[in-house]
């Protein structure tokens, strides 16, 4: 059985699910913005078949991909919440969908879509891919009315940050861009080391190992800062300094939110010393159990 893998190589969001005061309020959708302002490609998160291509301006070029077997029939995949499901993945905003058609199949990892700026008619948005997931096969979303407002979403919608795995050997995580636009919450990510069978999918809480490629990494007793001009400098007591090139510092937890110095911080265990360190998203490895 295949795992459901995040379809973007670089995992970074401008909006998460159900953000109050934003366009995703009451909708289980994420906006993936990739590595930069360019239009990153999207990869099939499992073997999929195109169920429907909505070419209407109002849909902003939404394409519905259903999880399938080698013959194009509905097939269950392992989701990061530990449940097996047939799923539909809807991707939105690609500039042109003229090359896509119903019945077209993609193997897990094939390029199947692309970030775009299309918002219907002449309207444009910043390059991103709006992603929703529904249980079962579906070729459209339904209209729900709550609080006097109407919303389009899957009848059985699922939170993307709960069902997609991070493929530890392939995805790059931008921890500094996981928080939502107003930073009121941070995404939860689940790890796997394979696109393969359930026997090798691993635990959902697989830990990370950081390695010091840029220079010496300080492990501090507390997360404290002193102000220096317009910047904040870490001032917690230094317990140890991890030398450049070392790969033994184990991440034991992610501290919520970006701190005053502009970094995401993590709790670390190194040679029996436990403390806190700045996290650089470019340097991590997945630890297999």
CATH number of the domain to which 167 belongs: 2.70.70.10
Same domain, 256 and 189: no
- In angstroms, rounded to a whole number, what is the distance separating the alpha carbons of residues 30 and 14? 8
CATH assignment at residue 214: 2.30.30
Residue 134 falls inside a structural domain: yes
CA–CA gap between residue 50 and residue 43 (Å, rounded): 13
The reported pTM is 0.71
Same domain, 165 and 98: yes
Tell me which of 200, 230, 253 is where a domain ends: 200
**187 falls within a domain:** yes
Give domain status of residue 1, yes or no: no
Do 23 and 141 fall within a single domain? yes
Residues 27 and 160 in one domain: yes
Q: How many residues does the chain have?
A: 289
In a domain? residue 3: no
Q: Are residues 195 and 252 in the same domain?
A: no
Q: In this predicted structure, what is the pLDDT of residue 267?
A: 85
In a domain, 157, yes or no: yes
Same domain, 110 and 248: no
Encode the chain (289 residues) as per-residue pLDDT tens digits. Answer: 899 999 999 998 888 888 777 788 889 999 999 887 789 999 999 999 999 999 988 889 999 999 999 999 999 999 988 899 999 999 999 999 999 999 999 999 999 999 999 988 767 888 999 999 999 999 999 988 887 888 889 999 999 988 998 887 788 887 667 755 454 556 677 777 667 544 333 333 445 677 776 678 899 999 999 999 999 999 999 999 988 888 788 877 767 667 888 887 888 889 899 999 987 756 666 554 3
Is there a single domain that holds both residue 132 and residue 151? yes
Summary count for the chain: helices (H), strands (E): 1, 28
Q: Do residues 54 and 179 both lie within one domain?
A: yes
Among 158, 174, 200, identify where a domain stops. 200
**End residue of a domain, out of 182, 200, 218:** 200
**Can you give the pLDDT at residue 139?**
94
212 shares a domain with 187: no
Whether residues 30 and 116 share a domain: the answer is yes
Q: Are residues 49 and 134 in the same domain?
A: yes
Residue 2 in any domain: the answer is no
Which residues constitute the domain of residue 169?
Answer: 10-200
Question: Using a CB cutoff of 8 Å and minimum separation of 24, what contacts does 49-52 make?
Answer: 49/103, 49/104, 49/105, 49/106, 50/100, 50/101, 50/102, 50/103, 50/104, 50/105, 51/88, 51/102, 51/137, 51/138, 51/139, 52/102, 52/139, 52/140
**First-to-final CA distance of the chain:** 20
Domain count, the chain: 2
Domain assignment present for residue 219? The answer is: yes
Residue 265 shares a structural domain with residue 129: no
| Tokens linked to 142 | 């339904």
């Amino acid at each position: 059985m295949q795992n459901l893998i995040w379809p973007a190589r670089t995992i970074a969001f401008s909006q998460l699910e159900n953000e109050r005061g934003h366009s995703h309020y009451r909708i289980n959708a994420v906006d993936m913005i990739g590595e930069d302002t360019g239009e990153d490609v999207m990869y099939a998160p499992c073997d999929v078949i195109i169920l429907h291509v909505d070419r209407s301006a109002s849909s902003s070029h939404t394409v519905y991909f259903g999880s399938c077997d080698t013959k194009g029939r509905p097939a269950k995949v392992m989701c990061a919440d530990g449940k097996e499901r047939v799923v539909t993945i809807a991707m939105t905003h690609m500039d042109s969908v003229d090359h896509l058609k119903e019945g077209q199949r993609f193997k897990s990892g094939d390029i199947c879509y692309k970030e775009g700026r299309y918002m219907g008619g002449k309207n444009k948005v910043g390059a991103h891919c709006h992603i929703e997931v529904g249980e079962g096969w579906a070729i459209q979303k339904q209209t729900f009315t709550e609080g006097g407002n109407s919303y389009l979403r899957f009848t059985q919608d699922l939170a993307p940050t709960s069902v997609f795995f991070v493929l530890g050997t392939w995805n790059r995580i931008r921890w500094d861009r996981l928080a939502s636009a107003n930073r009121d919450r941070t995404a939860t990510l689940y790890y796997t080391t394979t696109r393969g069978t359930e026997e090798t999918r691993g635990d959902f809480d697989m830990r990370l190992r950081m390695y010091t490629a840029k220079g010496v990494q300080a492990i501090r007793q507390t997360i404290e800062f002193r102000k220096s001009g317009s910047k904040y400098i870490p001032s917690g007591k230094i317990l140890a300094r991890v030398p450049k090139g070392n790969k033994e510092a184990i991440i034991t937890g992610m501290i919520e939110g970006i701190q005053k110095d502009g970094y995401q911080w993590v709790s670390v265990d190194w040679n029996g010393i436990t403390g806190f360190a700045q996290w650089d998203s470019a340097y991590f490895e997945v630890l297999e159990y």
